[in-house]
Amino acid sequence: MSSPTTSPLLSVRHLVKEFQMKAMRKSGRKKRIVQAVTDVSFDVHRGETLGLVGESGSGKTTVGRCVLRLIEPTAGQVAFDGVDLAQLKFEELRQVRRKMQIVFQDPYASLDPKMTVGASIAEPLVVQGIDGNHEEKVVSLLELVGLSADHARRFPHEFSGGQRQRVGVARALALDPALIVLDEPVSALDVSIQAGVVNLFGDLQQRLGMSYIFIAHDLSVIRHIADRVAVMYLGKIVEIGPAAAVYEHPTHPYTKALLSAVPLPNPRVERARSRIMLEGEIPSPINPPSGCRFRTRCWKATELCTMQEPVLEIRAHGQLSACHHPEV
């Protein structure tokens, strides 16, 4: 991991993404705005893994896609290696995208069923107009992710879920990226093979030195691979900091609730602790609560939480959290 004093590989500042819902003529409803991401800022350094976690609907996948400009941000700045991506024209962005790749959640849906695995892995090289022996490159990539040269001639349906995800990783590595967005890369896999794929990401990072944004809804998945963790709730980051600080000393009630749901390996400790059960559902991003967005489900909420939105503040163990009544 790079020193925080060096310039970050990726810098995201005040990112906003809103989606406009169409008006419904019969009901007379006007156009409504979905606030998917609101004022999100973070850095990713070279060789670092940032874990981006939260429940479904928290906005973490939208952040990942805005970073890659797969969808256009409504506002804010995304700078990659010092270059503001919003200022780039199509051809300039195409060149930068060689260094920014994504691994999708569903390994089967992300592969063309009519193409062999070898053709799928070589496709980025063809699209980018890179000359050379693609067959040799494909074989080396397959071996890098734990598959064999023979697999290049097979089709996606001939592989298990874990093997298909390894193919997706090989394809993402084809252009030697500096940053990979891992969008829930193991959530569609059996629990028995999730650890093997997560370990693969760690091994590849050590060998190739790339950076990750690892998106997950389960804090336990990224515990041993993330250098820093950002916890999102209803489109905002509520806690961010070194992984050890966030896991061992969570200061936001939402982070504490998420961690209480993670099983512990020690049966005695697991039986002795009490879990925090969050009541209610995540509020609608069309009309988020005033003040603190988590207050409608928080056991510590007061009138202050209703009236004033908390800002990210530094805590004793080095992380930032946005809470008027932080955990100690």
Query: What is the per-residue pLDDT across 1-21, written as a single tens digit (0 to 9) for each?
Result: 444 557 899 999 999 999 988
* 93 neighbors 171 (Cβ within 8 angstroms): no
Average pLDDT over residues 14-39: 82
Q: How confident is the prediction for the chain on average, in pLDDT?
A: 90
Residue 319 resides in a domain: yes
**Distance in angstroms (rounded) separating the CA atoms of residues 280 and 232:** 17
- Going edge to edge, which strands form the sheet with 211-216? 100-103, 179-183, 211-216, 49-53, 228-233, 236-242, 320-321, 313-314
Q: Domain range for residue 305? A: 252-328
- Output 190 or 29, whichever has higher pLDDT: 190
Is position 312 within any domain?
yes
Residue 263: predicted pLDDT: 67
Domain assignment present for 267: yes
Quick check: is 281 in a domain?
A: yes
180 alpha carbon, distance to own chain's centre: 10
Q: How confident is the model at residue 308 (pLDDT cuts 50, 70, 90)?
A: very high
pLDDT tens digits, residue range 195-217? 899 999 999 999 999 999 999 99
Q: 282 near 235, Cβ under 8 Å?
A: no
Rounded-to-integer distance, Cα 120 and Cα 138, Å: 9
In a domain, 103, yes or no: no
Residue 87 CA to residue 83 CA, distance in Å, equals 8
Amino acid at 91: E
The answer to the question of residue 162 being in a domain is no
For the chain, list the strands marked E by DSSP: 10-21, 32-44, 49-53, 75-80, 83-84, 100-103, 179-183, 211-216, 228-233, 236-242, 313-314, 320-321
**49 domain-assigned:** no
Q: What total number of domains does the chain contain?
A: 1
DSSP 115: S
Residues with Cβ < 8 Å from 217, sequence gap 6 or more? 53, 54, 55, 56, 60, 184, 187
Nearest to 1 by CA among 47, 32, 68: 47
Could you tell me if residue 234 is inside a domain?
no
pLDDT value at 120 more than 50:
yes
